[in-house]
Structure 1
Amino acid sequence: MDSLKIAELESKIKQLERKLEAANGAIALAAVIGPKVRNISHLVAQSESAGAFKENGQFYYKGEYLSAAEYSQRIEADENYAVHFKESQRPIESIPASENPWRKESLNLTKQMRLLRENPALARKLREAAKGGS
C-alpha cells in the first residue's frame, strides 16, 4: 500500500471517529435533556455545529469540557438555545426584566419578532409583564 492510500484511509478513519463522537454525544444529550426539548434532532444539530461533542462523552461549551448533565444545564440557561425548549422549561422568571424586549428600557423589535415566531406563549407573557410595569 502506498503512502497516499494510507493517508486517505487515515483521513476516513478520523471522519468516522468524529461521526461516532457526534452520535455518542447525541445519545447522551437525548438521555439527559430529551423530554425537555421540542425537537431533540434540532438541538443535536445546533450542538454539533457548535463543536460541542468531544471524545470520551465530554461536551465543549464556552471554553469548558462538561458532562452531558452539566452541558444540558448550561444550554437550558443560554438564550441561543432557548428556541429548543418547551414553554414550561422557559419560565418568564428566567428572563431578567432588563432583557424584556417589550419594556421601554430594553425595547428590541428584532427580539420581539423572534420570540413571537419561536415561543408565542413566552412572548405574550413578556408583553403583558411590560404593560404591567414589571
Structure 2
Amino acid sequence: MSLSIGTDELLRATKKALADSEVKLKQAHSKIVRQDAEDAITRSGASSSRLLADNMAAVGRVAENGRDVEYDVNGRWVDRDTYVSDLRRSEDTSKFFADAVAKKSPVVLRDNPFSRASFNLTKQMQLIREDPDLAARLRREAD
C-alpha cells in the first residue's frame, strides 16, 4: 500500500484549501468592515443607524495595511470619519443626523428669551446649542 499522493491530487487539495482560506478571509473582512461602520454610525448619533451602517459596509474594505478600514467615496478611499462627515454634508443623508437637522431649522424667536419679560430657559439652551453667536448677542441685549 502506497502512501504517496499524485501531483494532480496534491494540486487540487492545495487549490481547495486556498479557496477556502480566501472565503474565510473575505468573511472576516466583511465582519471587520461591518463592525467599523456600526461603531462609526453609533458614535455619530445618527438616526436610522442600521440603514447608514448598511450603506457604509457596502462600500467599505479593509485597507492594504490590513489594520484600517476605508470607504469608497466616488472612487477615492477615505477613513471612516471623513466618510461620516461626507454623509453629514450630503443632501441625501444629512437628514439622518440630528445636529444637521437642527442647523437647518433656525430658532424662531418672538421675544428675547434672556430678558426678564420673556425669560425662557428652554429657548436659551436651544439658542446656545444651535446659534451661540445669536445667544451671546441676545444675552448682551437683555434687560
Q: What TM-score, normalized by structure 1, do the two folds share?
A: 0.51
Pairwise CA distance, 1:45: 0.5
Instruction: Give distance in 1, aligned partners of 2:88 and 2:61.
Output: 17
5 Å matches for 1:47-86? 47-49=56-58, 51-55=59-63, 56-86=68-98
Kindly state the Cα deviation for residue 48 of structure 1 after the two structures are TM-superposed: 1.9
Task: Name the SS of the counterpart of 2:93 in structure 1.
Answer: helix
CA distance 1:4–1:57, change in 2 (3 Å): closer
Within a 5 Å distance, the mapping from 1:22-37 to structure 2 comes to 22-30=33-41, 32-33=43-44, 35=45, 37=46
Distance 1:53 1:3, change over 3 A: closer
* 8 Å contact kept, 1:30–1:40: yes
CA gap 1:62/1:26 in 2 versus in 1, 3 angstroms: same
Partners of 1:4 and 1:65 lie apart in 2 by 31
Partner of 2:49: 40
Cα-Cα RMSD: 2.6
Q: Tell me: CA distance 1:28–1:38, structure 2 relative to 1, closer, same or farther (3 Å).
A: closer
Partner of 2:24: 13
Amino acid at match of 1:26: A
Matched-pair identity in %: 8
Task: Count matched residues.
Answer: 89
Distance 2:96 2:62 in 1: 21
Q: Which runs of 5+ in 1 are unaligned?
A: 94-134
Matching of residues 79-118 of structure 1 within 5 Å: 79-86=91-98, 88-90=99-101, 91-92=103-104
For residues 92-116 of structure 1, give each alpha carbon's deviation from its aligned partner in whole angstroms, at most 9, with x where no partner exists: 37xxxxxxxxxxxxxxxxxxxxxxx
Of residues 66-75 and 7-16 in structure 1, the stretch that sits farther from structure 2 once superposed is 7-16
Specify which structure has the bigger relative contact order, considering alpha-carbon pairs within 8 angstroms and separated by 6 or more residues. 1
